[in-house]
Structure 1
Amino acid sequence: MVEAVIFDIGNVLIEWQPERHYDTLMSREEREAMFAEVDLHGMNDLIDRGAPFRDTIYDWAERYPKWRDQIRLWHDDWIKMASPGIDRSQRLMKALQARGVPVFSLTNFGIGSYDYATEFYPFLRDFDRDFISGHMGVTKPDPKIYQMVEATSGLSGAQLLFTDDRDDNIATAHTFGWKTHHFDGPEGWARRLIEEGLLSEAEAA
């Protein structure tokens, strides 16, 4: 029986599309060249493991003078990359909590960037338990972060239902026996929550 539902955040509760934002600022060809030369997602992985938000990005910007101003936008325009919110997913989170179902986060997210995001998305402070990689020092899909969730929550295996948009994160959760849902939109997630008996059709609307 499911005792808690775990949400990823990026592309589940909030859209996270850096490339899309940069495509509004430069030609697609330029953006592709920058991403090919600079491992911006690798830089972001450092932040997600606890490195300082602004300092890490600005340090990387200095390594690549050609792209300095654009790399700094990873910090300065960050909320534009992490938007818009996915409203129905947020409603599903609230509906679960209204039914008394505990809702946890399990997210690759930096310390400073998460604190910044909460200014725009107050619901991020409403999880029953937060599992934020920046504070934990490890990111999905490393098995250690899943072990930490189980150890902290006291729940394991099929007591947990986890949704994430990335196959590799789902695959590791499977090795722990968690119930999982590969998120490809809130409609499918709503159906899964109804199928699990966690929400009624009206509550999931």
Structure 2
Amino acid sequence: MTISTVIFDIGNVLIEWQPERHYDAVIGEDRRKEMFAAVDLHGINDAVDRGAPFRATIEKASRDNPAFGPEIKMWYFDWINMASPKIDHSVALLRALRAKGIRVVALTNFGIESFEFAETQYPFLTEFDKTYVSGRMGCVKPHSLIYEMLEAGEQGDPKQFLFTDDRVENIDTAARRGWQTHLFSSPQGWAERLVAEQLLTLQEAGLTAQPKAN
């Protein structure tokens, strides 16, 4: 079926999101493991992704867990170092699709303030035809409501959506709604899918054609 809209996740698709890696580099793996075992930092971040105020939420978590207070505050103050670097090939694919006039939108679990800040650091985040940001919408993937809200906003046939995300549960919800999906594991694989769907040529997708066997 013809693809009308390509939908990108952002974290680990366009920008690497690796908080553990940053903490390991700054405070050491042992201290990081101790903190993550004691404090559900990803769960706290989920609240931010649902629209809770970023700094106030992290500062409360710091006060509630004084044994790790300074380290928890790093989730706010060092956030951009956790959400980096950009994945250059994926960014190139986004731009190649838009250059061909293909509608490209984002569907992302992201806090309101952190997304606004990320746009200043990664200008390509402003290049989508539309961004569906969980913090603004008050719900997160993989809950069906956020997919319903995107469908209402796009007003297209969901069967003509092609969605890539790095999390199986997010892909599964989309697939149950009839979206075409791609589980993102590398920009190379995503590029190959876009070529297979005849949305991009090999050259446009940054791929090299394989020589034909004799």
TM-score, normalised to structure 2's length?
Answer: 0.95
Query: Alpha-carbon deviation of 1:27?
Result: 2.2
2:91: which partner in 1?
Answer: 90
2:132: which partner in 1?
Answer: 131
**Identity of counterpart residues, as a percentage?**
54
1:200: which partner in 2?
Answer: 201
Name the CA distance, whole Å, in 2 between partners of 1:117 and 1:69. Answer: 23
1:68: which partner in 2?
Answer: 69
How many pairs align?
205
- After superposition, residues 1-20 of structure 1 pair within 5 angstroms as 1-20=2-21
Which has more radius of gyration?
2
Name the CA distance, whole Å, in 1 between partners of 2:67 and 2:160. Answer: 50
8 Å contact from structure 1 (residues 50, 110) kept in 2: yes
8 Å contact from structure 1 (residues 13, 89) kept in 2: yes
8 Å contact from structure 1 (residues 14, 84) kept in 2: yes
- After superposition, residues 144-163 of structure 1 pair within 5 angstroms as 144-163=145-164
Secondary structure of 2:15's partner? Answer: coil
Is 1:102 aligned to residue 83 of structure 2? no
2:27: which partner in 1?
Answer: 26
Name the CA distance, whole Å, in 2 between partners of 1:157 and 1:133. Answer: 19
Is 1:42 aligned to residue 52 of structure 2? no
Uncovered stretches (5+) of structure 2, i.e. residues with no partner: 207-214
Q: Deviation per CA, 1:30-53, whole angstroms, max 9, x where unpaired?
A: 111100100000000000000001
Name the CA distance, whole Å, in 2 between partners of 1:155 and 1:173. Answer: 14
CA root-mean-square deviation? 0.6
8 Å contact from structure 1 (residues 13, 87) kept in 2: yes
Query: Alpha-carbon deviation of 1:156?
Result: 3.1
